[in-house]
Chains A and B, each alone.
Chain A
Amino acid sequence: DAEITQSPRHKITETGRQVTLACHQTWNHNNMFWYRQDLGHGLRLIHYSYGVQDTNKGEVSDGYSVSRSNTEDLPLTLESAASSQTSVYFCASSETRDNSPLHFGNGTRLTVT
C-alpha cells in the first residue's frame, strides 16, 4: 500500500544545530507539504512543493528550507534550530492541486533545548 513516512519520530537537538526531517511518500504525488502543529495555533504551512525542483514558502517559512530532487522526498531543514521551533511537524502529499485530500505522515516531534 502507498504511504507517507516521516523520520525520525522524535528528535531532541540543541539550539543552533542544523536538523533535517525526512519525508518519503510512495503515492507518486507531485504535491508535498510541511506543516507544524502547535497548541493554540493549529496547523501552519511551512513550505510546499508542486513537483521536482519546485519549492514555495508557506505562512511560517523563516528558519526552514526544503529541497525537491525527486518525486518521493521532501526533506525539511532547520538551518539553525531555535527553541521556538520546538513543535510537531507533519508532512503531507496530495494527488492534485485542487480538491484532492491531503495524506499525512505520522509526524515528527522535535524538541530544541
Chain B
Amino acid sequence: AQRVTQPEKLLSVFKGAPVELKCNYSYSGSPELFWYVQYSRQRLQLLLRHISRESIKGFTADLNKGETSFHLKKPFAQEEDSAMYYCALRHSGAGSYQLTFGKGTKLSVIP
C-alpha cells in the first residue's frame, strides 16, 4: 500500500538558515509527488510538483527514487515561509487516481 511519511511534526529554524522538510514515500508504481502548503488563515495550495522540476518561492524538491524521498529545500528561510507543509503522493489503480497526504510538518521561522 502507498504511504507518505513526514517524520517531523514541527521544524523550527532561524531566518536566513537553510530549510529541509523531509518526505519519504512507499509505492510500488511510478510515483508522482507534490508539496502543498497552508499559510495561516489561507487555504491549502499547491507549492511544487516533481514533474515540473521548478523552484517556487525559493523552494526546490528533487525526487530520489533510490531513497524514495522527495525532500523540500530552501537555502535561506524567510519569516513568510512559516506554514504547514504537506507532502502528497498520487497513486493510481483501476482508473482511479488519488492523492495520499503525509501528516504534515509545521515550519516555524524564527526572526
Bitwise interface map of B from 83 to 105 toward A, beta carbon under 8 Å scored 1, else 0: 00010001000001111111110
Q: Interface extent on B, as a size class?
A: 20 to 34
Docked pose: A40 CA to B99 CA in angstroms: 18
Asked if A98 is at the interface of the complex by the 8 Å CB criterion, the answer is: yes
Q: Is the CB of A45 within 8 A of B99?
A: yes
Docked pose: A42 CA to B102 CA in angstroms: 6
Docked pose: A44 CA to B98 CA in angstroms: 11
Interface residues of B (CB under 8 A from A): 6, 9, 32, 34, 36, 43-46, 49, 51, 86, 90, 96-104
A58, closest chain B residue (CB): B98
Chain B proximity of A91: nearest CB distance (Å): 10
CB-defined contacts of A59 to chain B, threshold 8 Å:
100
Q: Is the interface of B mostly helix, strand, loop or mixed?
A: strand
CB-defined contacts of A90 to chain B, threshold 8 Å:
43-44
CB-defined contacts of B43 to chain A, threshold 8 Å:
90, 104-107
| A3-50 contacts to B (CB < 8 Å) | 33, 35, 40-45, 48
A-B contact pairs, 13 of them (CB 8 A): A42-B6, A42-B86, A42-B104, A43-B104, A44-B101, A56-B96, A59-B100, A97-B97, A98-B90, A99-B51, A101-B34, A102-B44, A104-B43
Q: Interface extent on A, as a size class?
A: 20 to 34
Contacts A102-B99, A104-B44 supplied; 18 other A-B pairs, CB < 8 Å: A33-B99, A42-B86, A42-B102, A42-B104, A43-B86, A43-B101, A43-B104, A45-B99, A48-B98, A56-B96, A58-B98, A97-B97, A98-B90, A98-B97, A99-B49, A101-B46, A102-B36, A105-B43
